[in-house]
């Protein structure tokens, strides 16, 4: 494995301000949703670069406000 930083499921929940639970991450893995992860033996690890990319893809950008004529 590279020297890249990896997050445990609990660390990812903390990064997401506990708005997602470890159980939700488990469901997402089963459903093939959520950020990419690496499975090493029994450990689940989320590469930080992949988490950041996933966050960027899921960032909601409000439409520019309309200007009335």
Per-residue pLDDT of the chain (69 residues; tens, 9 = 90+): 568 999 999 999 999 999 999 999 999 999 999 999 999 999 999 999 999 999 999 999 887 555 655
Show the domain range for 39: 6-57
Report yes or no on 31 lying in a domain.
yes
Report yes or no on 1 lying in a domain.
no
d(CA 42, CA 55): 25
Report yes or no on 64 lying in a domain.
no
Output the pTM of the full model: 0.83
How many folded domains does the chain comprise? 1
Query: Within a 10 A sphere around the Cβ of 46, how many other Cβ atoms?
Result: 22
Chain mean position to CA 58: 9
Task: Answer yes or no: are the C-beta atoms of 13 and 5 closer than 8 Å.
Answer: no
Report yes or no on 52 lying in a domain.
yes
* Helix/strand/coil percent split, the chain, to 5: 40, 15, 45
């Amino acid at each position: 494995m590279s020297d890249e930083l990896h997050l445990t499921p609990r660390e990812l929940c903390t990064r997401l301000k506990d708005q997602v639970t470890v159980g939700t991450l488990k469901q997402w893995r089963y459903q093939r949703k959520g950020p990419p992860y690496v499975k090493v033996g029994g450990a689940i690890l989320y590469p930080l670069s992949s988490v950041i990319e996933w966050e960027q893809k899921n960032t909601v950008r409000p439409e520019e406000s309309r200007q009335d004529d």
